[in-house]
Amino acid sequence: MQIVVVNYHAGNTKSVLNALHRVGADPVLTEDPALITTSAGVILPGQGEASHAMQQLRESGLVEALLGLRQPVLGICIGQQLFCERSEEGDTTCLGIFPKAEVRHFNAVSSDPNLKVPHMGWNTLHQLRSPLFCGVEEGAYAYFVHSYCVLPTQDTCAVCEYGGVRFSAAMQRGNFYATQFHPEKSGAVGEQMIRNFLSLCHD
């Protein structure tokens, strides 16, 4: 079973690769559309700025490849944001996998003038409803680092709250899964989620 991690120069690939190795997977880091298309599962991680990340995907010829995937796909952090329709960051048109989902800056949606951004550290997950969360308890802690968020939509499958803002901690539509938090940095909870994703790739 070949799992690929998409290399689009958005950072944070090393920790994802290490997490996959810890659970016994043998992932490949690649930007080859053919390899991505024929893999059993695809992970789109990343840290960075939305418009630059989308530019990297376009220049690598990866937009069409990603949109055509039928196997399980997991977007992490900015990966979730890129699955949305639009991001305020750089006024960016994203992949549109989650329709009508817009990425907003915390300061634009919070009424707290003293809110510290980015939202960084451990926070709780609620309203879990995805195979990703099999064996994960309501209220489990996950690790976040982000300044932008997606308000809940019909594709939201877990929520979190920060600064009075209830936002999408995870999303799912069909074979596309995404987390705003970092499973690879979320201890036993994150490891369970990675195992769950790999199990989906076996099905």
Please give the Cα distance from 46 to 40 (Å, whole number): 20
Active site residue 84: no
Residues paired with residue 117 on neighbouring β-strands, in sequence order:
none
Active site residue 77: yes
Single out the catalytic residue among 84, 160, 182, 201: 182
Single out the catalytic residue among 31, 77, 84, 157: 77
Single out the catalytic residue among 84, 89, 184, 201: 184
Q: In sequence order, what E strands does 25-174 have?
A: 28-30, 41-44, 73-76, 84-87, 92-93, 98-105, 119-124, 141-146, 148-150, 156-162, 165-173
Please give the Cα distance from 127 to 194 (Å, whole number): 19
Active site residue 184: yes
Beta-sheet strand order (sheet of 92-93): 92-93, 84-87, 98-105, 148-150
Please give the Cα distance from 79 to 179 (Å, whole number): 8
- Give me the active site residues, please: 77, 182, 184
